[in-house]
Amino acid sequence: MTAPVVSLNDVIFSYPAGVAALKGVSLEIAQGERIALLGPNGSGKSTLILLIAGLLRPNSGEIKVFGEKTTSKDFQKWRSRIGVVFQDPDDQLFTPSVIEDIEYGPKNLKIPDQDIKTQSTQMLEKMGITHLKHRPPHRLSFGEKKKVALSTALILKPELLILDEPTANLDLTARRKLINTLNELSKVGTTIIISTHDAEAIPELADRIVVISQGIKLGEGKTSEILQDKDMLTQSGLEPPTIVSLFTELKNQGLIQKIPLTLEEGKEELIKALKS
């Protein structure tokens, strides 16, 4: 059996002020999985992804990424295989121009200049931000900053991509482009971890959901199962996606057989119901 890309065993973490952020979380994530860490603000999910990325050290318990403990002095050499996109893009954009931010990581890895130029040009085109190439990041809109921040992670072609609230403050076009990009990465084997409280976006972004509430792993399971578990979601301060709530009511009235998770599935289910 292949070893998990990420494994956590009874991880506990508290901030210096004594705030307990995680209270004994255990979790395994396999290569190529798309995982959503779902929970309300303050649940501990952002802390969890910082621990997985090795940017925080647990008070107790063990975290391994690619089989290496994140507390090990050798873990630094695995960092280039991990891409992180923070909730606030200002936390990772710091150079005078967009192109310098995007090329910063590859230059640090001593990638040949011509390869960097080729890769950065392709990344700008893919994310639709070529026109922002020479703009200072602090002058961009929030949505534009998020595209640049995602580009800084994707250009390194990470094997593990970690994103904190990636859909927050994105317009519909940018949101769709993000979902398509992440799904393309998943098809080539990239492991993706998304921290979010946006249950509406999860059906297209994750195969499995881990529900985090008040620093505790409340439950985990297939996306379809968790998003229909109203009791668990309510207990963690969340609501099912609108489409799940609507079709659950229709199913309770005997009008449909299956509860869809996406708009496309919903259309198919309505057509079946109308025909019958």
**Structure tokens, 149:** 């921040």
H-state helical runs in the chain: 45-52, 98-108, 113-126, 142-154, 172-187, 223-226, 230-235, 242-252, 263-275
Mean pLDDT of 118-122: 93
Mean pLDDT of 247-263: 87
Structural contact between residues 38 and 202, judged by C-beta atoms closer than 8 angstroms:
yes
φ, ψ of residue 108 in degrees (nearest 5): -65, -30
The crossing angle, in degrees rounded to 10, of helices 98-108 and 142-154 is: 20
Radius of gyration of the chain (CA): 20
Three-class SS state of 62: strand
Going by the DSSP 8-state scheme, the letter that residue 133 receives in this structure is T
Mean pLDDT of 246-258: 87
**Structure tokens, 77:** 């050499």
Q: What is the pLDDT of residues 13-52, one digit of tens each?
A: 999 888 899 999 999 999 999 999 999 888 999 999 999 9
In the predicted model, is pLDDT for residue 190 greater than 80?
yes
In the predicted model, is pLDDT for residue 2 greater than 80?
no
Mean pLDDT of 236-261: 88
Structural contact between residues 134 and 148, judged by C-beta atoms closer than 8 angstroms:
no
- CA-based nearest residue to 189, from 63, 3, 5, 8: 5
CA 59 to the chain's CA centroid: 24
Query: In the prediction, which pLDDT does 256 show?
Result: 85
**CB proximity list for 70: less than 8 A, separation 6 or greater:** 51, 52, 53, 54, 57, 63, 64
Q: Percentage of the chain with pLDDT > 70? A: 100
Distance in angstroms (rounded) separating the CA atoms of residues 147 and 149: 5
Query: In the prediction, which pLDDT does 93 show?
Result: 92
Q: Which residue has the higher pLDDT, 201 or 121?
A: 121
Query: In the prediction, which pLDDT does 36 show?
Result: 95
Q: What is the pLDDT of residues 81-117, one digit of tens each?
A: 899 999 889 989 999 999 999 999 899 888 899 999 9
Query: In the prediction, which pLDDT does 230 show?
Result: 87
pLDDT mean across residues, the chain: 90
Q: How many CB atoms lie within 10 A of CB 1?
A: 4
Query: In the prediction, which pLDDT does 1 show?
Result: 57
Query: In the prediction, which pLDDT does 17 show?
Result: 81
